[in-house]
Chain A
Amino acid sequence: MAGKAAEETGGKVATEEESAQIANCIPRLRRYARTLLAEGALADDLVQDTLERALNRLHRFERGRDMRAWLFSVMHNLYIDQLRQPGLAARSLDEADYEIPCAGVQEPLQLRDVQTALCMLPVEQREVLLLVGVEEMNYGEVAATLAIPLGTVMSRLSRGRERLRWLMEGGRMTTSLKAVK
């Protein structure tokens, strides 16, 4: 990730093209943030923090790379940093935690609302579902953006979809789907 090595301070001024690219991504960044954080105000905070960090670290952005994917990874990392702050109700990112749905919901919920159902998935599954199914990234791009192995992308995708189906169908089916490696 050499980028433009001349920028020692990181205070590289964005070119007009780069500024425009970043600005164009704001709506996508906002919906990604709202996938991570349910509360709108916090989500917009995260977007603004992301923009600021991206501008400060623009020297790390490789020309020709997908600006959207880079911004998503900046946001993802910021979010993880926030989770790690002491005192926040952070959920560990261990695979072992995946059997625990984010809201502890295990009962039939008569839900047909995809947004509500999505919110009940662990955040790790939510973001993979968003990047794959909404942003239409390929699996390799998702792995690079989230800095996780391809196999982890696939298992999160598989578990996320299965749990979403379970929630959307009222939670009546048995979820026997375990680790898919």
Chain B
Amino acid sequence: MSSAAITEEDLQAYVDGRLSPERNAEVQRHLSACPEDAARVQAYIAHRHLLRSHFDAMLAEPLPGWARDFQAGTDTAPIRRANRLVRGDSRRMLQALAAVLLLAVAVGSGWIARGYFDATGEDRRTPMLAMSGSLASLPRQAAIAHVVYSPDVVRPVEINADQEGLLVNWLSRRMGTSVRPPRLAAFGFELIGGRLLPGGGGPVAQFMYHDITGQRITVYITTERSAQWPEHADGLRYAQEGPVNVFYWGTGHFGYALSAGIGKNELRRVALAVYEQSRARSS
């Protein structure tokens, strides 16, 4: 048996039908002797077919107007240039904004060395080095996560709201406890989706919402409550991290933080609703 000589490249080329007939026969011999590789190759071939039919269906889709114009030889370049300028400007502005926000959060919150107060008012003066440990406070972590992800146009979330069941299952499994997105529809904020973030003591869930003006709110949920939230520390707290307003609180096993670039009073109304929902869930 020549299985020792069969390489991974041979298997891939077998899937793509790009082997010589002799080599093809050798690979087939190898596969009949190696069920593991055979199963793998069989799956690759099946997925190749699936992808092929999925993508070939795209070719039959009707073309948008600009593509038909191009095919017809109509010169649409001036219009497109103008469009792109507008689009490009807004994209660049978003990028610049994200950079400024991040800097503002980092500077404004004294990322370098700083202590924080626990519920007893005792200054713990824990030195915190920039991004090195798990001790950046909940509102700061939440604000940073907000400015990093909320301006993202292409992939603001990992799993979209249209797969909410999947999102909830996945986040809950990773967090080790049931986590679901609060409902903000009453305030005009619709769920975009969610993502998982690394936190100091484990994974953190971030849900993102937007309203019709494109304004985005993120809800940051951590299970690090025990470290950051002494008992009896319930109640809504407020922090301003650079240009981002954050309301945060601890309930049950969770720490929550709501971040947005919107006005404090407006955000407070939303935060109160999420606060009530979180308390209802944990009681």
Contacts and interface: CB of A to CB of B under 8 A. Distances in A.
B22 interface: no
A104 to B, nearest CB: 6
B73 A19 contact: yes
A34 B56 CA distance: 13
A168 B47 contact: yes
A1 interface: no
B237 interface: no
A48 B66 contact: yes
Interface in A146-171: 154, 157-158, 161-162, 164-165, 168-169
Interface string A41-78: 01011011101100000000000000000000000000
A23 B70 contact: yes
Nearest to A110: B166
B268 to A, nearest CB: 30
Contact of B43 (A19, A42, A165): A165
A162 B11 CA distance: 12
A139 B18 contact: yes
A60 to B, nearest CB: 19
A19 to B, nearest CB: 7
- DSSP majority for the A interface? helix
Interface string B176-220: 000000000000000000011000000000000000000000000
B5 interface: no
A28 interface: yes
Contact of B47 (A39, A105, A165): A165
A156 to B, nearest CB: 10
Given A27-B61, A104-B158, A114-B54, A169 B43 contact: yes
Interface in B1-54: 8-9, 12-13, 15-16, 18, 40, 43-44, 47-48, 50-52, 54
B271 to A, nearest CB: 27
Nearest to B196: A104
A38 interface: yes
A52 to B, nearest CB: 7
B161 to A, nearest CB: 14
A165 B9 contact: no
Given A45-B84, A114-B50, A26 B67 contact: yes
A19 B196 CA distance: 46
A9 interface: no
Given A103-B159, A154-B9, A161 B84 contact: no
Contacts of A38: 154-155
The B interface is mostly helix, strand or loop, or mixed, namely helix
Interface residues of B, number: 50
A139 B94 CA distance: 38
B47 A26 contact: no
B280 interface: no
B18 A34 contact: no
Given A27-B61, A114-B47, A114-B50, A42 B12 contact: no
Closest 8 CB pairs of A and B: A87-B95, A23-B71, A180-B8, A114-B50, A31-B58, A134-B55, A103-B158, A133-B48
Given A26-B63, A87-B95, A103-B159, 4 more contacts: A26-B70, A104-B195, A133-B52, A165-B47
Interface of B: 8-9, 12-13, 15-16, 18, 40, 43-44, 47-48, 50-52, 54-56, 58-59, 61, 63-64, 66-67, 70-71, 73, 77, 80, 84, 87, 92, 94-96, 98-99, 152-155, 158-159, 166, 170, 173-174, 195-196
29 contacts: A22-B70, A23-B71, A26-B63, A26-B67, A34-B58, A37-B154, A38-B155, A39-B153, A42-B153, A42-B154, A45-B87, A48-B80, A48-B84, A87-B94, A87-B95, A88-B95, A105-B158, A107-B174, A115-B54, A130-B51, A133-B48, A138-B18, A154-B12, A161-B15, A161-B44, A162-B40, A165-B43, A180-B8, A180-B9
